[in-house]
A and B are shown apart, each in its own frame.
Chain A
Amino acid sequence: MAHGPATLADGWRAYISRWVFTTNHKDIGTLYLWFSFAMFLMGGAFAMVIRAELFQPGMQLIRPEFFNQMTTMHGLVMVFGAIMPAFVGLANWMIPLMIGAPDMALPRMNNLSFWILPFAFAILTSTLFMEGGGPNFGWTFYAPLSTTYAPESVNFFIFAIHIMGASSIMGSINIIATVMNMRAPGMTYMKMPLFVWTWVITAFLLVAVMPVLAGAVTMMLMDINFGTSFFDAAGGGDPVLFQHVFWFFGHPEVYIIILPAFGVVSQIIPTFSRKPLFGYSSMVYATAAIAFLSFVVWAHHMFTVGMPIAGELYFMYATMLIAVPTGVKVFNWITTMYKGSLTFETPMLFSIAFVILFTFGGFTGLMLSIAAADMQYHDTYFVVAHFHYVMVAGAVFSGTAAIYYWLPKWCGKMYNETMGQVQFWVAFIGFNIAFMPQHFLGLAGMPRRYADYGLQFADWNMVSSIGAFIYGGAQIMLLYNVIATIRNGKPTTEEKTWEGAEGLEWTVPSPAPYHTFAKPPEFK
């Protein structure tokens, strides 16, 4: 067995080598979580720059070229640096605890998956300081903007994506191997906590689509530097090919982001409803159905590209079909709460907000899926509002809920409930002020990704910016709450922090010992 964890008392060298050389799933989970939070603040800072510039019409603070780099980097950092690693961190911490395993299946590869990320993001961030600036073609990096017309730094972006992809694939393979091979006796597949289920399906999606993303950026690299013509019609290629390859990755990617969030909420709502999750098996099948459908709907991102009508109709109906399993999930969460003994601690508040706001974002998604209507909505702020409702109120709210929910298990200290609830309300109100008006802006025709706008959009943009600053402030409060809990939180040693909590992670002491389940527990 590996020796116990070094603390600062053992000296800096021992402390640093503990984190750098670690093979412990809890250490690696912690690294992922802190790294993703750092990236979240960086991506958030980019968002603040965007909203500050859009506070008023006209150009005030930055040049349009830099604005483009900010929108691009905000998207890339939030998707690949903040949300994805945050959920991998939760997976690392919680999956072994939930299935009664002593660690992840491949502990050294686990460490490698994490330590690639700082290098990848150092490369990506360094592009901002390069001649010609950083990536400026939007996080979806459509060719030929990202090939023929791209700054030279696009090459650094390409290789950063390559190693990020390697990290994701290794991390996912590790999760699949852990879940398939490391479950405690009695922990059959249909008894696994839903968080584990959603993650194993997510990991499958990642292994399936990250290589496709690698293919897309490789084609870009070849077109830019080696004279191929994948995305150049002059040579017989097609820029639309890029969009097909990208969205074949990109659509499953959005479920990669949201499925673990579903898992978290499916753990939290039963706990604070003091009832088992309603419709467990339908939840599992719905998750699998969403994952399957995610592979066959990609071109709904491309309705305005000039597809044949048959293609538009197919992708429209297939997309609408996703509402069915998603609806199953929403009904199950609500039915779990129905007639439960509800209490509203911070994790539950975030989870309920998740259900409401994610459903709202789902409905705007349904509007966007109508091909004829999408001709109007496409590339407007309506789309921006839609995906921030599912990404922020979906993934980020659920991640925040997870932090409050499991923080006592991680560090053996209880957060301050008042502070938690204050943070929730600031985040909830700030979020809605920031993004609700963007629906109106989009429907009124304001295009996304522009540094300036017509005067008729001025009022709602100012409101949106104020909301964004409030929401940004809420994240500083979250950081404060977490640090304050770790330093001065009320110690708690109870195994079961929450009265209604079920599952193996609540059978080990708080804080969870460095090594748990050296002998597999019996699970009935």
Chain B
Amino acid sequence: MSTESSYYVPEQSKLPIITATGMGLMAYGAASWVVSGGSMVFTAGLVIMAVVMFKWWSIVIDENMRGLANDQLKRSYVLGMLWFIFSEVMFFAAFFGALFYLRVIVNSWLGGDAAVGIFDDTPTDAAVANNAILWPGYEAEWPPMITPDQAANGDNAVFKGPDEAMSFPGWAKLLGWLPLWNTVILVTSSITVHIAHTGLKNNNRKQFIGWLALSVLLGMIFLVLQVEEYVHAYQHMGLTLESGIYGTTFFMLTGFHGAHVTLGTVMLLIALLRAIKGHFSNEDQFGFEAASWYWHFVDVVWILLFFVVYVFD
């Protein structure tokens, strides 16, 4: 509830309309890019967005440094960030939900063994017919190495399954398994961000900056390894976006997560640069805290991904 006696209403601002223009150009440009090629409009929009975002956040930071942002406005920023993270949770929920539905329900219908009930696993007639008529020879398995298309149409299939999946390689090869190392790196980075936060709270700037820098570094290493994994998948495993539903879900889930790690790393990097310039204090640390909440969020998403996409195949 409002307790302030005065309230900061910002002056008129050119930032929003420029941002909206940038977004409009990006949207129109992206669509015309996929339709007819040519990325000029999209790039123009992207450049406008990059410049105006930089400017916008500089102004907000500057207002904060000049003491214009009172406690109430700061609480509004906190609420804004938390609800933004909630919207991101729901975005991932859509893809996790899709994965669950595809793995558990769709796959058994395509393979003809969708059960009549929870306690009775006799296949329904409809599922059996669906399999026999549309996708003869397809057997439900996860990861699906052969697509229904391939099972029914052999070499004429449009969708071909991967040669290899990203599954758990067995205990013997555990230490050479890249996703495990990515998990270790990301969990560690969440801990290092927390240590940096503790340092800031105790006014220990050396601890703050050092551990924050380490977190940024870990984020970058994660991204490099992720790229390495993708290259390996495309070149040596025959696993691409087009490898049927396994490739689709694998790359979309890990890809969107990777995009969010990239954003989180940029946020932490900006916090680091500001920290080096002497920003943030014991009482005033929202910019850093927001980045760290976001970082913990992408970490939690990864842990879910690690189990759902990699371990329990």
Residues of A within 8 A of B (CB): 1-3, 17-18, 20-24, 100-103, 105-109, 111-112, 115-116, 118-120, 122-123, 152, 155-156, 158-160, 162-163, 166, 169, 172-174, 176-178, 180-185, 187-188, 207-212, 214-216, 219, 221-222, 224-230, 232-238, 240-241, 244-245, 248, 306, 308, 310, 515, 518-520
> A155 — which chain B residues lie within 8 A by C-beta?
30-32, 34-35
- Is B244 part of the contact surface with A, judged by Cβ < 8 Å? yes
Indicate which residue in B31, B93, B95, B251 contacts A156 across the interface (CB closer than 8 Å).
B31
Is the pair B72, A310 in contact by a Cβ cutoff of 8 Å?
Answer: no
New contact pairs (18) apart from A177-B79, A222-B241, CB-CB < 8 Å: A22-B12, A106-B76, A115-B20, A123-B31, A159-B27, A173-B80, A177-B76, A183-B1, A187-B1, A211-B88, A212-B91, A222-B248, A224-B34, A230-B98, A235-B244, A238-B106, A518-B7, A520-B4
Q: How far is the CA of A240 from the CA of B98 in the complex (A)?
A: 11
- Is B21 part of the contact surface with A, judged by Cβ < 8 Å? yes
Of residues 60 through 96 on chain B, the ones whose CB sits less than 8 Å from some CB of chain A are: 72-73, 75-77, 79-80, 83-84, 86-88, 90-91, 93-95
Indicate which residue in A23, A163, A227, A240 contacts B24 across the interface (CB closer than 8 Å).
A163
Least CB separation from B96: chain A residue: A215
Q: How far is the CA of A230 from the CA of B101 in the complex (A)?
A: 11
Is the pair A228, B248 in contact by a Cβ cutoff of 8 Å?
Answer: yes
Q: How far is the CA of A184 from the CA of B83 in the complex (A)?
A: 22
Q: How far is the CA of A178 from the CA of B251 in the complex (A)?
A: 38
Is the pair A236, B88 in contact by a Cβ cutoff of 8 Å?
Answer: no
Is the pair A241, B101 in contact by a Cβ cutoff of 8 Å?
Answer: yes
Least CB separation from A116: chain B residue: B20
- Is B6 part of the contact surface with A, judged by Cβ < 8 Å? yes
- Is B149 part of the contact surface with A, judged by Cβ < 8 Å? yes
Is the pair B12, A233 in contact by a Cβ cutoff of 8 Å?
Answer: no
Least CB separation from A203: chain B residue: B83
Q: What are 26 inter-chain pairs, A to B, with CB distance below 8 A?
A: A1-B9, A20-B17, A21-B12, A102-B7, A109-B80, A118-B20, A119-B23, A120-B27, A155-B30, A158-B31, A177-B79, A178-B76, A181-B75, A184-B1, A185-B3, A208-B87, A212-B93, A229-B147, A230-B245, A232-B159, A233-B110, A235-B248, A236-B245, A237-B102, A237-B245, A238-B102
B1-18 to A contact mask, C-beta < 8 Å, 1/0:
111111101111111110
* Interface of B: prevailing SS: helix
Residues of B within 8 A of A (CB): 1-7, 9-17, 19-21, 23-24, 26-28, 30-32, 34-35, 56, 72-73, 75-77, 79-80, 83-84, 86-88, 90-91, 93-95, 97-98, 101-102, 106-107, 109-110, 117-118, 124, 126, 134-135, 144, 147-149, 157-159, 240-242, 244-248, 251-252
The tally of CB-CB contacts under 8 A between chains A and B is: 248
Q: Which one of A112, A221, A234 has the highest number of Cβ atoms from chain B below 10 Å of its Cβ?
A: A234
Is the pair B20, A112 in contact by a Cβ cutoff of 8 Å?
Answer: yes
Is the pair A17, B106 in contact by a Cβ cutoff of 8 Å?
Answer: no
Q: How far is the CA of A159 from the CA of B252 in the complex (A)?
A: 18
> B244 — which chain A residues lie within 8 A by C-beta?
229, 235-236
* Interface of A: prevailing SS: helix
Is the pair B24, A102 in contact by a Cβ cutoff of 8 Å?
Answer: no
Is the pair B9, A234 in contact by a Cβ cutoff of 8 Å?
Answer: no
Is the pair A173, B91 in contact by a Cβ cutoff of 8 Å?
Answer: no
Is the pair B87, A207 in contact by a Cβ cutoff of 8 Å?
Answer: yes
Is the pair B2, A120 in contact by a Cβ cutoff of 8 Å?
Answer: no
Q: How far is the CB of A23 from chain B (nearest CB, A)?
A: 5
Indicate which residue in A159, A160, A229, A520 contacts B2 across the interface (CB closer than 8 Å).
A520
Indicate which residue in B2, B11, B87, B134 contacts A23 across the interface (CB closer than 8 Å).
B11
Q: Which one of A3, A187, A207 has the highest number of Cβ atoms from chain B below 10 Å of its Cβ?
A: A207
Is the pair A103, B17 in contact by a Cβ cutoff of 8 Å?
Answer: no
Q: How far is the CB of B115 from chain A (nearest CB, A)?
A: 9
Least CB separation from B144: chain A residue: A236
Q: How far is the CA of A86 from the CA of B82 in the complex (A)?
A: 26
